Chains A and B, each alone.
Chain A
Amino acid sequence: MKIKSIILIIAIIFTSCENNFDPNAEYKETFAVNALLRGDNNFQTVTIVESINPSEFHSGNNETKFVENADVKVVSGDQTYFYKDSLIFDANNNPIHFYYNNEIEVNENKNFSLEVELPNGEKLTALTYVPRFFTFEGGASNSVIDPTINFGITVQWRISAQDLFFHPQLYVNYSVIENGIEQFRRLEIPNSYITRDGKMEGKFSEPSSLKSFSVDYNTFAIALESLREITPVPGNIKIYNAELVLKVYDENLTKYYSSTNVVANAFSSRVYGSDYSNINGGLGIFASYMVHSYRMLISTDYIKSFGYSFVEE
């Protein structure tokens, strides 16, 4: 009887040790500003989002809380650009409140400052600088894509600033005749292919600090071959040229991208992630990037080998 009582007491002790435990600290409202200045367009946007209480989030409400009615302005030199409030809907018909200005020209070697006044009176500020001096290295880059004269496709560039990230994307500009109408399109060429479930999948380049882009002809050929799926008549496809589109991130965007792409392995759930922000008083990013492009010809014999049409030189 005594032993049974002891066992019962121990069982009660152990089973009563249920975890009534809250992993959250006291909730504190925080705001994130996302403002990228793009060099290829004067249309610039800003979004402001509010943080979500963990209990609300875990109960399934993780909708982005956009902040409306804030005053947003960007200053560069003696120019001040005020942003307007607007609304669009995403693919799932969720509203996205954003601010825009379509007069900001982003040029190299230029400073910009951002000032946001929230409806609650809180002020958030940030600075960014567009890096200067970028050029493609013509001598070290292909000008013609032709497997008979080089072993692969390479483009190199240089820039005076250190440590920046670049996002190169190689496209083939082509057109296809559909219903008698010529449609202009472009095909992004992956860096490589992998086979998954018996199917080939392209693996595309990601932003990195590498100052060159290269792809082998085998990958390039597989990508070009895939155009045959568009139309049963290869001759309806006309190949124009190849173009490397390169986005050059400024230092803030480089840091931000780097912090959002810390990759652990399958067993390494990090419990303390780094979260880069240059927004004073809040979270998010104010940064800029420039877009440059480098065109390459594709040899006619090479295009012909696929059965496609080409543009007469």
Chain B
Amino acid sequence: MDCPSCAMLIESELDDKGINCKCSYAKETLEISGEVVEEVVKIVSDLGYKIEE
């Protein structure tokens, strides 16, 4: 993520899909609730970002 807007973009896209999450630009973390890991990985990847566990 290059700026806070990236974090908000990810949050917003996941929110639109009904996934509760919190994305932090400063910490470079994405916190989600529920068993939706695969779907989250796909949405985030489609936005051009990569998730590292």
Co-assembled chains A and B: no
Chain A residues close to B by CB (< 8 Å) = none
